[in-house]
Chains A and B, each alone.
Chain A
Amino acid sequence: DAKTTQPTSMDCAEGRAANLPCNHSTISGNEYVYWYRQIHSQGPQYIIHGLKNNETNEMASLIITEDRKSSTLILPHATLRDTAVYYCIVRVDSAGNMLTFGGGTRLMVKP
């Protein structure tokens, strides 16, 4: 699986958009970009995933660059409950494939 690079930590003001970047310059054509987050002492929570096109759901938006070498997770209106570690993972979309977690980005949403 392709390696990802994320900033170690970020701050965001409550109510503002949180933009979390991820570099995956070695991504292969059949690898998806997944985003999960982990709130303290809980299991990771799925947020969103995509292959080439930008994606949006009730939680977030995923913007993937045209060359697919980087992506940005956008939380449009961050709340204090969005404080968590956010993991960007790339892998082939197969039921048998596990997820390999890197260090993630620790997002702190401040009042």
Chain B
Amino acid sequence: GAVVSQHPSRVICKSGTSVKIECRSLDFQATTMFWYRQFPKKSLMLMATSNEGSKATYEQGVEKDKFLINHASLTLSTLTVTSAHPEDSSFYICSARQVDSNQPQHFGDGTRLSIL
């Protein structure tokens, strides 16, 4: 079945560092990918919709200059957390769905980001 790969699975870094998270669709093409954030014991919250070849669409309250999204190909979207601070520590998850298909969305295994 469709697989979405997310890398890295865990990042620990100092405050002020920028961190890039990759999301790849391994056996299908995805014009649209989604980035979610999840805090402990909470549900997933959509951050932005990543569109191949165009600008991402951000949800209200999500800073686009803070969370840079690039969707350069049909199989790769990246989320860069710029100048990360402790409050950015969270579980970041991407999802994707095959183009022109009735297949459901599939999710990556998430990236746990810890900012010290």
Identity of the chain B residue whose Cβ is nearest the Cβ of A104 in the assembled complex: B43
Q: Is the C-beta of B74 less than 8 angstroms from some C-beta in chain A? A: no
Stretch of A16-24, A64-72, A73-81, A95-103 contacting B (4+ beta carbons < 8 Å):
A95-103
CB < 8 Å A-B pair total: 54
* Pairwise interchain contact B112-A46, C-beta atoms closer than 8 A: no
With A98-B34, A99-B95 as contacts: A42 and B109 at CB distance below 8 Å: yes
B-side contacts of A46, CB under 8 Å: 104-107
* Pairwise interchain contact B104-A49, C-beta atoms closer than 8 A: yes
| A 77-111 binary contact with B (CB < 8 Å = 1; else 0) | 00000000001000001011011111110000000
B-side contacts of A100, CB under 8 Å: 46
B35 CB, nearest partner CB in chain A, Å: 10
B4 CB, nearest partner CB in chain A, Å: 8
A-side contacts of B98, CB under 8 Å: 95
10 A/B residue pairs, CB under 8 Å, sorted by A: A42-B110, A43-B95, A43-B108, A43-B109, A45-B107, A46-B107, A95-B100, A98-B105, A99-B95, A101-B43
